Amino acid sequence: MGNTGTGEPSGEGIHLHFEVKLRNALGNLGDDGLCWGYTPETDKIDGIRDEPNWFGYVNPYPYLEYDINAIRRIPIEVDNDQPVRTGPGMDYTKTFATVIASQKFVAFGEYNGWYQVYLPSKDGPATGWIQGKEIESLDLLLEVNDPSSEPPGVSVRANPTTSSDIISYVWDGQWFVMSDIAPSGSGCSKPWYEIYLPYGFLYPSGWVCGQYLLRVDLDRDGEVDVVDLGILLSNWGSTSKPLADINQDGRVDVVDLGILLSNWGK
């Protein structure tokens, strides 16, 4: 119950707080620690009570106020440097990061020119809202495949080696746009993939080991469908067609087919 046991005056009186969370504690927007309740703490610097979003909670208001469109996963290119926001509009809280012009992210929601995109974070799978444009990208869309889905997630490193610093983490089921690729090795049995990072992690991009990534959307159109199946079947048995080798084990076979079918329609 809000405003109970605090002795603080409140214009709302006693009221009920509630939340829906993926985990028992989800501080996914870069807070200083796990915050167990909806009510935000007082800022340690200016003494002003901050928005709940700054402590890792997804703002529910956009979903109540707007008819947000769920869209197929598409690559979005950032038009200009801008803060990531908790909802589709300038009035929503700025989150922990800024995106930079020409960076690319995968969107799965849209409202009036604003796109909801997947974001890396230290404490759980984060999302945020940015403005940008849909692009016909030749870059691969990568899905994080970490079924354990437990902290600390999949490491994003400063360089393509496990000896490099960990910048952030990505989480099972999130999608990202590939920026570059590096050969396997340096602690990873599959190729390394570079993804874009919001400004706030000290690096504009980071590297993820391919052991934890899938490339199911073979034609890069944002949906796993019959076209992707056709690409896979046309390369069946190949050991030299890395695009259709979804699990990156060096051969296009029944394992890749099973992964594609399990993601059908996504």
pLDDT tens string, the chain, 266 residues long: the values are 555 545 555 555 666 655 555 443 333 433 333 333 444 444 444 444 444 444 444 555 565 666 677 777 888 999 999 999 888 888 777 766 889 999 999 998 898 899 999 998 877 788 889 999 998 766 678 889 887 756 678 999 999 999 999 998 999 889 999 899 898 889 998 889 999 998 766 788 999 998 898 878 787 676 788 998 998 999 998 887 667 888 777 789 998 898 888 888 77
**pLDDT at 61 (0 to 100):** 58
Residue 45 pairs in a beta bridge with none
Phi, psi angle pair for 127, to nearest 5°: -135, 165
Alpha carbons within 13 angstroms on the beta-carbon side of residue 230 total 4
Phi, psi angle pair for 108, to nearest 5°: -135, 0
Phi, psi angle pair for 226, to nearest 5°: -65, -30
CB atoms within 10 A of CB 127: 20
Determine the Cα–Cα distance for residues 126 and 97; give it in Å rounded to an integer: 11
Q: Is the dihedral of CA 184, 188, 189, 191 positive or negative?
A: negative
Helix (H, G, I), strand (E, B), or coil: what is residue 95?
strand
Q: Where are the beta strands (DSSP E) in the chain?
A: 69-78, 82-85, 94-99, 104-111, 114-119, 126-134, 141-144, 154-157, 166-170, 175-182, 192-196, 205-209, 213-214
Cα angle: 216, vertex 106, 60; to 5 degrees? 120
Q: How much is the pTM?
A: 0.71
| DSSP state, residue 201 | S
**pLDDT at 187 (0 to 100):** 94
Buried b or exposed e, range 153-190, using 16+ CB within 10 angstroms: bbbbbebbeeebeebbbbbbebbbbbbeebeeebebeb
Cβ contacts of 51 within 8 Å, gap of 6 or more: 40, 59, 86, 93
